Amino acid sequence: MNDGQYYERSWLDGCFDFMHFGHANAILQAKIASNNVSFSRYKFTSESKSIILKPCSNLEFFTPNSLASFRAENPECPLPRKGIWIGLHSDKEIEQHKGSLPVIALIERCYHVSFIRWVSERGVVKDVPYVTDLSQGVNDAKCEFVLHGDDLVCDANGIDCYYNVRKQNRFLIVKRTDGVSTTEIIQRILTGSYAERDNKTDFEDFFKNEKDFRLCERLAYDENGLFPYCWVFNQSMGEVVVAGGWSIEEQRDILFYNTSRTFDMFNAGDLEILNHIKKTYKSSKLIVGLGIGNESCVNNFRERLFSLVSCSLVDGVILNPTASNIDEHLFTQIITNDSELNLIDLKFKYLTADVIKQRIKNQRAVYEARNKKKLEN
């Protein structure tokens, strides 16, 4: 549909608190939608290809102002021609418009969303306004379209957060993902209802639910949102649940990360470990073990699986792996404990599921009031 003459970039903004699979699916849908619309606003020239962008650290994210400065210094905006850009609201903006601070801090949210498979390289902009302003990041990122779910979002004054975009005819809608929300996850923590879950039954039910299975297949798509990429296996690599898009037989360097980590409320702390492994073993494919046992997790099995398969650092997942079923000869290395890794100067080592739960419990009254209002509406 597009011939390469224009930038093919689109923009999503939001809170992205908890960065659950509903957010990931919205980004994937945005990527798929962008594959099927015509772009004609921002001309792509040959000069764009000749500029080499200096690398940045993982914790350097654009703000609207720094992106504008970058654009002024580099008019051709030498970043990938195609892709999805993400704008994140500040903690203060969220508190003003939602009535409470987000559970996950801004830098933690930025780091997490940057590793969703369909987010463009360096395509994360922090401190964007709650009411989308095309001059605050969107235009400077050369994003032609802005997308959001089909649920109306208003600011504290009841103003449509996307009215500026709608009147420019640059707004596209994707379907909201049913069955998950930040509000509902917070409610589980407030009530402790997650402790009653039977993980093994949850695991078995997944294989009986066609809708969940198909969503898993979609969330395992490649960075272009076109073809399968991330493998999913059951117990061993001999039982394929979701067929991936890279050849296991031809790949000579496969790592297996199989520790006791549950990936509950998948967060920057988990991602930093996986990113460290990928940086250390640059040419390797990373397969992650996801155990199903008596662990008490806020997220259910499918939520943890969906978070892993939509992550750009993960090339495959083995569900409920057991030592007797794992063929060690298939892997270059098997990591069974984080102590085997040279983990130095991690920025997010403090962030765990227990820390996240405690943040909510420390502000119980605030989150109870917020959830009550949200659920009533």
374: pLDDT confidence band, cut at 50, 70 and 90? confident
Residue range 338-343: average pLDDT? Answer: 90
* pLDDT value of position 1: 57
Inter-residue contact 335 to 257 (CB < 8 Å): yes
| Confidence at residue 194, expressed as pLDDT on a 0 to 100 scale | 95
Distance (Å) of CA 252 to CA 43, 95, 237, 329:
41, 49, 15, 11
- Whether 243 and 116 share a structural domain: no
Is the residue at 298 inside a domain?
yes
Any domain includes 94: yes
Q: pLDDT tens across 8-36, in order?
A: 999 999 999 999 999 999 999 999 999 99
270 vs 371, higher pLDDT: 270
Does residue 373 sit within a domain? no
DSSP 162-230: THHHHTTT-EEEEPPPTT--HHHHHHHHHHTGGGG--HHHHHHHHTT-HHHHHHHHHHTB-TTSSSB-S
Does a structural domain hold residue 351?
Answer: no
Do both 135 and 26 map to the same domain? yes
| CB proximity list for 366: less than 8 A, separation 6 or greater | 99, 100
Confidence label for 58 from pLDDT (cuts 50, 70 and 90): low
- State if pTM tops 0.85: yes
Q: In the chain, pLDDT over 70 holds for what percent of residues? A: 95
pLDDT of residue 77: 61
| Residue 324: predicted pLDDT | 79
Q: Does the structure show a pLDDT above 80 at 51?
A: no
Please report which confidence band the pLDDT of residue 46 belongs to, taking 50, 70 and 90 as the band edges. Answer: low
Which residues are within 8 A (CB) of 250 and not within 5 positions of it... i.e. 6 or more apart? none
How confident is the model at residue 345, as a pLDDT?
85
Q: Give the confidence band of 49 by pLDDT, cuts at 50, 70, 90.
A: low
> Which residue range is the domain that position 153 belongs to?
8-182
Residue 56 has pLDDT above 50, yes or no: no
For residue 371, being part of any structural domain is answered with no
Q: Are residues 242 and 141 in the same domain?
A: no
Based on the fold, state whether residues 130 and 274 are members of the same structural domain: no
Does one domain contain both 163 and 31? yes
Cα–Cα distance for residue pair 317/237, rounded to 1 Å? 9
Q: Which H helix or E strand runs over 368?
A: helix 364-376
- List the CATH number of the domain containing 342: 3.40.50
Q: CA separation (Å) from 33 to 147, 168, 181?
A: 9, 18, 22
pLDDT at 50: 44
Q: How many CB atoms lie within 10 A of CB 60?
A: 11
CB under 8 A, 24+ apart: contacts of 52-59: 52/78, 53/78, 53/79, 53/122, 56/122, 58/111, 58/114, 58/275, 59/107, 59/110, 59/111, 59/347
**CA–CA gap between residue 198 and residue 319 (Å, rounded):** 16
- Residue 95 above 80 pLDDT? yes
Residue 112 is part of a domain; what is its CATH number?
Answer: 3.40.50.620
Coil, strand, or helix at residue 234?
A: strand
Residue where one domain finishes, among candidates 138, 154, 182: 182
Q: Which residue has the tokens 């957060």?
A: 161
Answer whether residue 294 shows pLDDT above 70. Answer: yes
H-helix or E-strand containing 95?
helix 91-98
pLDDT digits (tens, 9 = 90+) for 173-205: 999 998 889 999 999 999 999 999 999 999 999
155: pLDDT strictly greater than 50 = yes
Mean pLDDT of 219-236: 96
Q: What is the spatial distance between Cα 56 and Cα 47, in angstroms, rounded to a whole number?
A: 22
Report, in angstroms and rounded to the nearest whole number, the Rg of the chain calculated over CA atoms. 21
Q: How many domains does the chain have?
A: 2
Q: Which of 2-11, 96-105, 137-146 has the lowest mean pLDDT?
A: 2-11
Q: How far apart are CA 301 and CA 311, in angstroms?
A: 16
Are 201 and 300 found together in one domain?
yes
Q: What percentage of the chain reaches a pLDDT higher than 90?
A: 77
Q: How far apart (Å, rounded) are the C-alpha atoms in residues 126 and 92?
A: 12
201 and 315 in a common domain:
yes
Do 172 and 42 fall into the same domain?
yes
